Amino acid sequence: MAPVSPLAAALGCKCPRCGRGALFKGFLTVADRCTACDLDLSEVDSGDGPAVFLIFILGFTVVPGLVVGLALLFLRTYNLGQQTPAETQKHCRYFSRFFHLIISFLFPR
Ligand SMILES: [Zn+2]
């Protein structure tokens, strides 16, 4: 059996010994055994590690991206800077209420 590059096996989510069998049986669940070489993978169960890793990645990319995207959408939708001050004030009030709504969902009392 030819040696398997650890990097190639990791990036391809393949068995570290044979490089052919699937490492995961679900999205984040490590398979019990390799389907190709029958390597016992149950001892390398990482528990909640992958889920926490995914939560950190999504938390630091998707949430700020969503907030910035919504802010840009708001600015584009209401053409801020090309309105009367009264219109701008009204739309900023809507925006403020929207963010209060989001904050109240994230941090309920
Ligand atoms: Zn294998």
Return the bridge partners of 24, or none.
30
CA of 48 to the centre of ligand 1 (A): 23
CA of 54 to the centre of ligand 1 (A): 25
Question: Which of 69, 92, 63 is CA-nearest to residue 80?
Answer: 92
Res 60 pLDDT > 70: yes
Angle between helices 49-78 and 85-106 (to 10 degrees): 160
- pLDDT tens, position by position, 3-22: 889 999 999 999 999 999 99
Look at phi and psi of residue 84 and say left if phi exceeds 0, alpha if psi is from -120 to 50, else beta. Answer: beta
Q: What is the pLDDT of residue 20?
A: 93
Find the radius of gyration of the CA atoms of the chain: 24
Q: In 10 A of CB 101, how many CB atoms?
A: 10
Q: What is the pLDDT of residue 102?
A: 87
